[in-house]
Homo-oligomer: A and B are copies of this chain.
Amino acid sequence: MLPSSVLITEEGPREGFQIEKGPITTDRKVELIDALSGTGLRRIQVASFVSRKQVPGMADADDIVARMKVVPGVDYTALWFNDAGLERARVTGKLTLEGKVRVYPSEVFMKRNINRTPEQHLVHTHAEIERYKELGIPVRDASVSNAFGCNFQGDIAVEKVVECVGTLMALAEEHGMEYEKIGLADTMAWATPVTVKRVIGAVWDRYPDANLSLHLHDTRGMGIANAYAGLEMGIRKFDAAVGGLGGCPFAAHKGAAGNVSTEDLVFLCHEMGIETGVDLDALIECAMLAEDVVGHPLPGSIKQGGNLARLRASVRAGASA
């Protein structure tokens, strides 16, 4: 049942810099992105083009992209939430532009966060897709926010998530789109391995072709266990953040961990014989660099615990010496 390989989208730069207090210079942000480009990661989300006032850590998104090196074979992506943001992303000329559609099983969160009813959101999403069509930008990415629970609504019924994926599938059908991934996002860290399996199983029972991925936060320490549960279900696509960048602003207490750490996820995969294409030692160096760039320890474990592959090699070298 375990996949033979997985595709990891590195979201550390985007998730991290938008939340870190900083200030962090553009050069240091670019330094981390450039280092990540050399690890074998094939997708890196580098910035979000949002309000400079509301998200000061991303005010230099344009400069970040302008200065970063583009390594062939790596897709660099970004987020935006309106035409102005998309235009900023487009003019960089260096990003893979992909439209993204979002559904929200938590109606309380939707009301609170984007002030729409489900009906209003559907109208909005159709309009967004039409706009992408006009601009010739393919919609390849979809996400189900708070798929496992929400601090404002509580537990999310599995059937509600299935219904949300149904909405996405209907949109794809109607507009002739094909998603490269439908991300089940554990935005507020409510998932446990059992709910991960339950939700994925229920979605695939109904939509066996849904190209599911997992976007996991480690706020309650379940990130790697949830990823493992996803792998056991056959999930082949994950988002993650180097070092565990992106401490969640929704957590109950300060200092809560952020996204599941990319290097810990890569370690898990490699130890299980699952290919990632990533050089774990190089990625661990990036995690240490990320700590230096943000100026405080990050939660990822393997950068402290050490790569077993390296330890095995040194044990073998010692034994044969």
Contact = CB atoms under 8 A, between A and B. Distances in A.
Given A256-B305, A301-B257, A315-B151, A271 B192 contact: yes
Contacts of A300: 221
Contacts of A316: 154
A230 to B, nearest CB: 11
A219 B301 contact: yes
Contacts of A193: 225, 228, 268, 272
Interface string A218-238: 111110110111000000000
Contacts of A311: 151, 154, 252
A188 to B, nearest CB: 9
A221 B267 contact: yes
A306 interface: yes
Interface in A228-264: 228-229, 248, 251-257, 261, 264
A317 to B, nearest CB: 11
Contacts of A229: 228
Nearest to A272: B194
A54 interface: no
29 contacts: A153-B315, A154-B316, A189-B305, A192-B271, A192-B272, A193-B225, A193-B268, A193-B272, A194-B272, A218-B301, A219-B301, A219-B304, A219-B305, A220-B267, A220-B301, A220-B302, A220-B306, A221-B224, A221-B301, A225-B225, A225-B228, A228-B228, A228-B229, A248-B305, A251-B304, A253-B304, A254-B304, A256-B305, A257-B304
